[in-house]
Amino acid sequence: MLNVVELVSFADIKAAADRIAPDAVRTPLVPVLHGTDPARPLWLKPENLQPTGAFKLRGALNAVRSLSPAQRAAGVVTHSSGNHGQALAYGGKLEGVSVVVVIPKDAPSVKIEACQAHGAQVVLVAPEDREPRMLQLAEERGLTTIPPYDHRDIIAGQGTVGLEIAADLPEVATVLVPVSGGGLLSGVAAAVKALAPDARVVGVEPELAADAWESFRAGELVRWSVADCNRTIADGLRAQLSALTFAHVREHVDEIVTVSEAQIESAMAWLARNGRVVAEPSGAAATAAYLCADLPPGPTVAVVSGGNADPDRYARILAGG
């Protein structure tokens, strides 16, 4: 018998919006006036403006504020490439909930240090060990797991990005969303399709970590090795779809496209020059698709998912090195 996955509803996303409103920034849609295609006017959704520098704060706040009193008292644990970890740490600090974050040893130091600055205990592991170590710590310490994407409250929180896009640009034709584990894409697609059903929702993934693209084409989950996914510069896009997020993608997403490493780096520089936006590699992926992919005409939104770029790498990319 097949397991039926319950999808996050529009009501879930609306409830999340109310829950996170006091502390998550309602980011604007910013038009880009130069360097764009007149047939496809571009707006940026700059989630790099969140207090923790990425969209992850939305889902993390929603999840922490949905905990039971007993769960809050015991604390939570997650695994993360960095942005979800620091968002959960920040949410835990606001709510008085202790947080443990399991992070790959090769994560950017700026992300590791941010988790620690918000009071989280950081556990560094090999990339392939992050989820098993999270589950081990949860069992040993009685902690509640709040994974970065495979969680209904996380998806609902991330869906508030789509809620705002559809409210601010009802005539939107295409919404470009980075995809990794799929929490952001799942939530945004569910919200956009509820409010602007004719809009196309397109996931964007690095060519070097294209498990979601392959899964979408195959109609079933296709797994890539951790080593293969870790080749991409976009460290926030190295995770893979779960059964929960893939169910949302199949239901609501129109297409998944891929971008190269060179296109991601070029988009980072383009965003700085034309949008005055600081984007980490993962955050620039959607804009890379706008610049390079074959997309239909009409008003287009690219979600800039985060701006927690490694300073040295960012400077080299802006300098063209």
Task: List, by residue number, the catalytic residues.
Answer: 56, 305
d(CA 101, CA 304): 24
d(CA 308, CA 277): 12
- Comparing CA positions, the residue from 309, 229, 297, 209 lying closest to residue 269 is 309
The DSSP code for 143 is P
The DSSP code for 275 is I
Strand order in the sheet with 76-79: 121-125, 99-104, 76-79, 144-145
d(CA 201, CA 185): 8
Which helix (H) or strand (E) element contains residue 176? strand 174-178
DSSP string, 303-320: EE-B----HHHHHHHHTT
- Comparing CA positions, the residue from 184, 154, 199, 159 lying closest to residue 301 is 199
Neighbours of 274 (CB within 10 A): 17
Neighbours of 25 (CB within 10 A): 13
Asked if 93 and 118 touch (Cβ cutoff 8 Å), the reply is yes
